[in-house]
Structure 1
Amino acid sequence: MCQSHFIQRLLVFFLCFWILSPITGYSHPERQDSKKQERETSVIIEVEGNAQAHKRYLQTYFPQTKVIAVYDTLFNGLAIKTKPNKLPRIASLDFVKAVHPVNTYQTNQHQDANYTSPSDRRKMTSELKDMLQADESAVLPSDINTTSYTGKGVKVGIIDTGVDYSHPDIQKNYQGGYDLVDLDDDPMETKPDQGEPTMHGTHVAGIIAADGDLKGVAPDASIYAYRALGPGGSGTSAQVIAALEQAVKDGVDIINLSLGNSVNGPDYPTSIAVNKASELGVLVVTANGNTGPENWTVGSPATAVKSFSVGASSNAQHVPVLVTKQDQKQIHMRLMLGSLPWDLDRDYAVTTDISRVRGKIALIKRGKTPFRELAQQAASNGAAAVLIYNNETGDFQGSVESNDRQDEPLQIPVAALSQRDGKVLADYSREQFPYVDTKVMETKAGIAAFSSRGPVTVNWQIKPNVSAPGTNIVSTVPDGYEALQGTSMAAPHVSGAAALLKEAHPDWSNEKIAAALETTANVYAENKKDHSCKCPGHGRNTT
């Protein structure tokens, strides 16, 4: 290797290393204690040549370095865990092409709907019908399939939080998978005794291929589950790439990735793996993200050039908003998972003093205390409702559900606010007449406000490719059914539709299937004043 090539690669490594330093605890050596020096960090190294041979080399000459995963199907490299002071030597090895940080991936679920609590989840056909009748905005996945096709013979891989394959609507079509978190053949959702429980992957699986009381888009498609996200719906890029490789080795036709992060760039290792899977004939459907409505908010792996990225469309809904008495300002809120509906029927005072909140709405800044604990404290002091506002820019997702079935359910509604709206309401609470009303606002059908927009940095690729139903989607969850929303719910609609096309046209390439989905979609023109693209040469966003 020439000296200039070595110096260039070492500079790239040190840039990556300093980016990683907040995660690894690295700081100036004079300010480090012995514990921080011993802390390990994880990275993904892209290599030339045989990855398995390089694994053996590292194990021989870097015995304290742990090889977490070897990638040799979609991405040529290794995921390793080592001490920060070992990374410069590893980066300088002849076979190392690049060093990438290990990023965190989350489910792309946007919690902004009226949810049922675990004890109230509908388990029987009649109760499911009651649930749908009670919510006029609820959407059934099967509604989009107006064809005679059912996805029969098509294999769909779901890389997610796992799948509750014991669910009566799932078990018929579940064919296997792998757990990349616990490294075994049991990709079950995280259960309460294993950490923060999950349900996301089961909801995604139901949208694609539920076949019971509830029907998915392609009810005869085969489901393969790959658990890459563990407790709380969080996982790493190392696990996601490993799941992609396993799904391809298992011979799936379609991969659904209802997960993402904030990395807006086309060249991250997960994007490389997605592109390679597509080249091998697998259609990879990705959720575009829930950090809209601004442009440039799409995140990996939807940023991959060859991913088929999906945004969320919204049906017309009636949603509650708070309106201040003095200036009629509207405050938008997002009910937390497990909350009662926000059906307050008169005006209420808002206060930040949780000790004097009887008969009022408690306004609390988000901190380290669990949301349910904050809500319980306010409820015990007589609050009529609770609003928790973010401690950083933007919206957030929250839950007040309990893992303990013996806990008493909360008797008041709890909702989340953005930091901006929270500060506005906090200032308003100090006024002489700090009262708010609840009003119901009718939203129009179109692109969901939370749905992330493109373009992708570097190549300016437009994302998403299409949008699909992503609000109030009723599907399967452990022990019953739930209405959720997000681009996580939109992507599996497209995966199901792709399964129908694969059945109808088994000789079609991914490009033909993608083109058929894009060219037969309806066009939504967004409000140019609100969301117009500020990029030269672009007029409006369409899906």
Structure 2
Amino acid sequence: METTIATAPTAIVPGIPADTATGTVTLVTGDQVTLVRDEAGTPSVTFQPAAGRDGMPFLQRTEHGQVTVTPFDAQRLVDTGVLDRALFDITTLLRTPTPAGELPLIVTYGTEAAAATAAPRLRAGGAEVKRDLPSVHAKAVEVPTAGAAAFWKSVNPTAPRQAASLAGGIARVSLDGVAQPHDVDSARQVRAPQAWRRGLTGAGATVAVLDTGYDPTHPDLAGRVIGEKDFTGSPTATKDDVGHGTHVATIIAGAGRSSGIAPDAKLLIGRVCKPSGCPNSAIIAGMEWAAAAGAKVVNLSLGGGATDGTDEMSQAVNTLTAKYGTLFVISAGNNGRDESVTAPGAADAALTVGAVTDDDQLAGFSSRGPRVGDHAVKPEITAPGYAIVAGRAAGTTIGYPIDDQYIQANGTSMAAPHVTGAAAILAAAHPDWAADRLKSALVGAAEPQADATVYGQGSGRLDVNRATRQQVYAVQPTLALGPFTVGDAPASGTIKYRNNGRDEVKLKLDLVATDLAGRAAPEGTFTLSATHVTVPAGGAAQVTITAKATGPYGARVTATDGDIVVQTAVSGYANPVTQPITVSTTDRDGVTNGRTYGFPVFMTNLDTGITYSGLTFGRPLSGELPAGRYGVYAWIPSQSPDREPWYPSYTLAATEVSLDTTREVVLDARAGEPVRVTLNGVETGTYTGSALGIAGTGTAFAASAPEAYVVPAKVPGLTYTSVQYLRDVLRSTTCGPGSRRVCNVAVANQSGPVSSHPVITDADLATVTADFGSTGTGGTGDRVDFAVAPGSSAPPAEAINKDEIALPGRLTSYFYSAGGVRWSSALYQTTPKFLQVQNQSVRTIANGGTLHEDWYSSVLGPVVGSASVRSGNVLSFSVPLVSDSSPGHYASSTWIGGTGETVLYRDGRLVTGSLRPDSAAFQVRPDKGQYRLISRTAVPGAIRSTQVAAEWTFESRYVAASTTLPLLAVRFDPQLDGLGQLPAGQTVSLPVRVDGTVSTARVRELSVEVSFDDGATWQRVPVADGFATVRHPESVGGFVSLRASAEDVHGNAVTETIIRAYRLA
């Protein structure tokens, strides 16, 4: 898996989800999965088994938009930790750029001896060994995606049956993922100049920067770099062709306009990141090199997924810190959610850094703790990470360019090097200090913000001056109490203070405790054994802190004596009271817990939405769960393993239990009813999927198999969806033999599984006729439809229908739905190049009705809606810039290869910018301001709407509740032909309207201009009664560009420019 450069994320909005990843990936099993999303980001998948694996069942799991798809024969190995879940995390795989046609893996062995002899066996399976990773007994390999099925068979010879282990002594196979680099006068904000004035500039310290390399010609880095090495195989070696590494390096030790925090420190540059991301194996190798080369501090402004700190990268941090005493300073990540701190920042030994704005508010994008699993404090400290101006590598464009030498960027990537620079200053002043001492000094001296919790900020914002002056520190910079169980004896720990000064200090101790949301903890949740403690000169003293927490609470202990201020962040977590539960499964043959294969049993707490899972392979599932009501459900396999093809049918069985009264659960597949459709009197079984969504949680599970059954049950809080697609069904006039027409059937129930056997006729089917334009090149495409259950985020097990069409062309499809199912659709161009061209919002398709749709037949431009909002001090912007004018249609230019920028100004001054069109999030000041928001995109290779730009002006001030921004959009809706053309030499009336989040009746001004030379010159045209009158020139093959301006009575305004809006034929 690769780790990601941490730049700040975009807003989560309907129309353009924050995670817009769509496309097709090849799994380690050789199977292929295609992911599509609706306008709210709800995903759906299609699953294409590898050759020889037809009918392979799979399990789909969706949690908060993150999708995993696990084939049947990999499931057990995933559940037991032998296979990395990220290998089947479709969302991660799609946003993990990898070498063309290659799947990068880390293969870990149980012993060093097994790893040493593994290369021949790996090569025999088609893998190429790229790097040895001795610190974790592993090898980094690449497997050709075309040969993934053969590799899978070599490491799992029992496939397609399930296995308990892999062959050849392999202990684990992980995705060699791509961590991403995590992306004012910030030095003054962290009080570095005071340290400089005392002669503390980092002189004598060596710092390693593991990133995208550096620009050796940048004047701010002249004379700073004393060693370099590339771990990526980049053609430019350590020369930075991304820009992230140069930016980070100059924050640490740069000179010039944005002087680094430690301007006299020396740098080792390790390139571990490519333009596509940072392979985990490269990161580990870079860390090994940097520590061995003598770096006192190593900066890692990057991160992968949130972990509990047991992943390979985090373990490498712990191992290398213990061996060399090196301090690893690592960005927390830019997910902006609780429990989202990423690896390798999840490591115990790491000094993990969150981000604050220029007024010391916790940045909305900054990943928060507690750490996954044990609820420990992460991050431990924060630093400036918003609108940071630092060095720009020549020819690069990350962040927002200020000039040729500098860029402005946001992210915890920018926060971490501030702390690294401070650590360098301390290391230079105290050459004998190891990592733990440096970490204690920095964390203890931090300045906390009153409205941020310890799980968001750790001990607070970096204070370089205090860290370099203060002689008193807490030996353990953070403390974890728990997890323990409610009702057990309280958990206690010791805060030990050490005084390196010449005089004793008398520390006054204050304690503030809150929950994750910042609400005050109940009285007595944390207690101190003393409120004052005396620490002798050159000595130590300690105090005991006790936690009686009933959930995730955090405490900040502040010790003061005059100018001395020492912070300690403490976590306290108590597991809730639990009750025993035993779950057994009985298959359709009457065998109870007799199978050694299958999918897990899921247990969802219907009050909290938390889902637990376990296995019933050959034995009951026994364990303890927090008391409460649960939906217990499983897809139970039924088929003898000696039958071929060896793929079981599945029965979905579910029940509701209360652990206060029920401790033993039996899910019995024998009560299952077949999932069927009777169409025109003919009963048919089809390739089916079934899904369960947990109301209000963003979590859903789905499975698909050629034969399916369901046990009807009432389980409030679980929304059941059954989906089927029918083709060549006998005696159907619509879906008959040889017909390319497809009937889509979906049934939902908001209270658990129901019998899924609709009896329908042709008269019950809705007829949807769709006309499709093209991007202007012709070719072929896919129309994808998927069912959306009511009141749930549950996706179907697969996109219910994917039908190939000619572009331009027409397709007629048929739909039947029950239980409140609605439908969403997407159009993909498949040739000459795969592109997600346009999406359709969720809508109701009435049974028995008719509907006509136009796709891609109008001018492509911006569409606005309720997705652009202000909430508190955050402006979240989302305007798909290349949407056609049909109601409910939307498209991001990034889907079709567009690049661009979004820039925000306040009262004429630049706030910040992002090199992404369509969407962004900006943290702004609370008082009223006049804002100017610009978003522009260019789409290389496009035939029409090759460049689109929009500029909005509006006023905004702090609002507590989320409030829609008053944005306008001018839409042009001429009926273009299938190639996006109108006749040359004619006068045409272009339909034009103003859409927006304000009443269009209050628009007071609308003007339209046209250009026939790609925007070099413009001429105004008449606009009246909703039409703009345009006289086309005679020349065929030219293009018409459009520019429009509109303003409402409140002064909200927009100017749009669409270059090559349509072609003349």
Aligning the two structures, in what range does the TM-score lie when normalised by the shorter sequence?
0.5 to 0.7
Question: Are the equivalent residues in 1 in contact too, given 2:370–2:376 (CA < 8 A)?
Answer: yes
* 1:42 match: 104
Q: How does 1:212-361 map to 2 (within 5 A)?
A: 212-231=256-275, 234-280=277-323, 281-292=325-336, 294-316=337-359
* 1:139 match: 186
Question: Are the equivalent residues in 2 in contact too, given 1:71–1:242 (CA < 8 A)?
Answer: yes
Seen in structure 2, the aligned counterparts of structure 1 residues 249 and 55 have a Cα distance that, compared at 3 Å, is farther
Displacement of 1:251 in angstroms is 2.4
Question: 1:231 aligns to what SS in structure 2?
Answer: coil
- Alignment match of 1:163 (pick from 211, 214, 219): 214
* 2:224 match: 173
Long gaps (5+) in structure 1: 1-6, 26-37, 110-136, 191-197, 317-444
* 1:458 match: 373
Question: 1:526 aligns to what SS in structure 2?
Answer: coil
- The 2-side partners of 1:213 and 1:51 are apart by 53
> TM-score, length-normalised on structure 2?
0.32
Amino acid at match of 2:194: T
* 1:57 equivalenced with 2:143 (yes/no): no
Question: Are the equivalent residues in 2 in contact too, given 1:473–1:484 (CA < 8 A)?
Answer: yes
Seen in structure 2, the aligned counterparts of structure 1 residues 146 and 50 have a Cα distance that, compared at 3 Å, is farther
Per-residue CA deviations over 1:409-447 (Å, capped at 9, x if unaligned) read: xxxxxxxxxxxxxxxxxxxxxxxxxxxxxxxxxxxx322
- Alignment match of 1:484 (pick from 409, 412, 421): 409
Q: Percent identity?
A: 30
* 1:78 equivalenced with 2:139 (yes/no): yes
Seen in structure 2, the aligned counterparts of structure 1 residues 87 and 276 have a Cα distance that, compared at 3 Å, is farther
Q: How large is the Cα RMSD of the aligned pairs?
A: 3.2
Displacement of 1:153 in angstroms is 2.0
Question: 2:431 aligns to what SS in structure 1?
Answer: coil
Displacement of 1:100 in angstroms is 1.6
- The 2-side partners of 1:491 and 1:24 are apart by 24
* 1:189 match: 240
Seen in structure 2, the aligned counterparts of structure 1 residues 264 and 218 have a Cα distance that, compared at 3 Å, is same
> TM-score, length-normalised on structure 1?
0.60
Instruction: Show structure 1 runs of 4+ deviating over 4 A.
Output: 7-11, 21-25, 140-143, 527-530, 539-543
- The 1-side partners of 2:79 and 2:516 are apart by 42
* 2:551 match: 536
Displacement of 1:163 in angstroms is 0.9
Seen in structure 2, the aligned counterparts of structure 1 residues 519 and 539 have a Cα distance that, compared at 3 Å, is closer
Amino acid at match of 1:98: R
Displacement of 1:267 in angstroms is 1.2
Question: Are the equivalent residues in 1 in contact too, given 2:516–2:552 (CA < 8 A)?
Answer: no
Q: How does 1:488-503 map to 2 (within 5 A)?
A: 488-503=413-428
Per-residue CA deviations over 1:366-385 (Å, capped at 9, x if unaligned) read: xxxxxxxxxxxxxxxxxxxx
With a CA cutoff of 8 Å and minimum separation of 6, indicate the structure with the bigger relative contact order: 1
Seen in structure 2, the aligned counterparts of structure 1 residues 18 and 166 have a Cα distance that, compared at 3 Å, is closer
Displacement of 1:54 in angstroms is 2.7
Seen in structure 2, the aligned counterparts of structure 1 residues 17 and 503 have a Cα distance that, compared at 3 Å, is closer
- The 1-side partners of 2:316 and 2:516 are apart by 35
- Alignment match of 1:523 (pick from 433, 436, 448): 448
* 1:12 match: 80
Amino acid at match of 1:251: G
Displacement of 1:209 in angstroms is 0.5
* 1:399 match: none
Question: Are the equivalent residues in 2 in contact too, given 1:140–1:473 (CA < 8 A)?
Answer: no
Amino acid at match of 2:283: V
Range 531-540 or range 141-150, more displaced: 531-540
Question: Are the equivalent residues in 2 in contact too, given 1:303–1:463 (CA < 8 A)?
Answer: yes
- Alignment match of 2:202 (pick from 142, 151, 155): 151
- The 1-side partners of 2:231 and 2:86 are apart by 28
* 1:508 match: 433
Question: 2:321 aligns to what SS in structure 1?
Answer: helix
- The 2-side partners of 1:315 and 1:21 are apart by 36
* 1:209 equivalenced with 2:253 (yes/no): yes
Displacement of 1:301 in angstroms is 1.3
Displacement of 1:52 in angstroms is 6.5
Question: 1:68 aligns to what SS in structure 2?
Answer: strand
Displacement of 1:15 in angstroms is 5.2
| Number of aligned residue pairs | 360
Per-residue CA deviations over 1:103-127 (Å, capped at 9, x if unaligned) read: 2211111xxxxxxxxxxxxxxxxxx
- The 2-side partners of 1:454 and 1:9 are apart by 29
Question: 1:306 aligns to what SS in structure 2?
Answer: coil
Seen in structure 2, the aligned counterparts of structure 1 residues 176 and 188 have a Cα distance that, compared at 3 Å, is same
Displacement of 1:282 in angstroms is 1.0
Question: 2:140 aligns to what SS in structure 1?
Answer: strand
Question: 1:204 aligns to what SS in structure 2?
Answer: helix
Question: Are the equivalent residues in 2 in contact too, given 1:55–1:67 (CA < 8 A)?
Answer: no
Q: How does 1:89-104 map to 2 (within 5 A)?
A: 89-90=154-155, 92-104=166-178
- The 1-side partners of 2:171 and 2:383 are apart by 38
Question: Are the equivalent residues in 2 in contact too, given 1:173–1:223 (CA < 8 A)?
Answer: yes
Per-residue CA deviations over 1:138-183 (Å, capped at 9, x if unaligned) read: 4347952422112122111111111112101102101221222226
Question: Are the equivalent residues in 1 in contact too, given 2:83–2:173 (CA < 8 A)?
Answer: no
Question: 1:531 aligns to what SS in structure 2?
Answer: coil
Per-residue CA deviations over 1:200-239 (Å, capped at 9, x if unaligned) read: 111110010013454211111111112222125x222122
Displacement of 1:299 in angstroms is 1.3
Amino acid at match of 1:464: P
- The 2-side partners of 1:14 and 1:504 are apart by 46
Seen in structure 2, the aligned counterparts of structure 1 residues 160 and 307 have a Cα distance that, compared at 3 Å, is same
Long gaps (5+) in structure 2: 1-74, 94-99, 156-164, 394-403, 453-513, 522-549, 557-567, 570-1065
Seen in structure 2, the aligned counterparts of structure 1 residues 226 and 185 have a Cα distance that, compared at 3 Å, is farther
Question: Are the equivalent residues in 1 in contact too, given 2:326–2:434 (CA < 8 A)?
Answer: no
Amino acid at match of 2:150: N
Range 86-95 or range 505-514, more displaced: 86-95
Q: How does 1:435-454 map to 2 (within 5 A)?
A: 445-454=360-369
Question: Are the equivalent residues in 2 in contact too, given 1:177–1:187 (CA < 8 A)?
Answer: yes
Question: Are the equivalent residues in 1 in contact too, given 2:133–2:139 (CA < 8 A)?
Answer: yes
Question: Are the equivalent residues in 2 in contact too, given 1:138–1:472 (CA < 8 A)?
Answer: no
Question: Are the equivalent residues in 2 in contact too, given 1:143–1:217 (CA < 8 A)?
Answer: no
Q: Which has the larger radius of gyration?
A: 2
Displacement of 1:480 in angstroms is 0.3
- The 1-side partners of 2:301 and 2:219 are apart by 22
Question: 2:132 aligns to what SS in structure 1?
Answer: strand
* 1:108 match: 182
Question: Are the equivalent residues in 2 in contact too, given 1:43–1:100 (CA < 8 A)?
Answer: yes
* 1:349 match: none
Displacement of 1:304 in angstroms is 1.2
- The 2-side partners of 1:178 and 1:288 are apart by 25
Seen in structure 2, the aligned counterparts of structure 1 residues 530 and 8 have a Cα distance that, compared at 3 Å, is closer
- The 2-side partners of 1:530 and 1:13 are apart by 29
Displacement of 1:12 in angstroms is 3.4
Question: 1:242 aligns to what SS in structure 2?
Answer: helix
Question: 2:179 aligns to what SS in structure 1?
Answer: strand
Range 495-504 or range 523-532, more displaced: 523-532
- The 2-side partners of 1:18 and 1:216 are apart by 37
- The 2-side partners of 1:520 and 1:490 are apart by 16
**Which has the larger share of helix?**
1
* 1:66 match: 128
Question: Are the equivalent residues in 2 in contact too, given 1:288–1:487 (CA < 8 A)?
Answer: yes
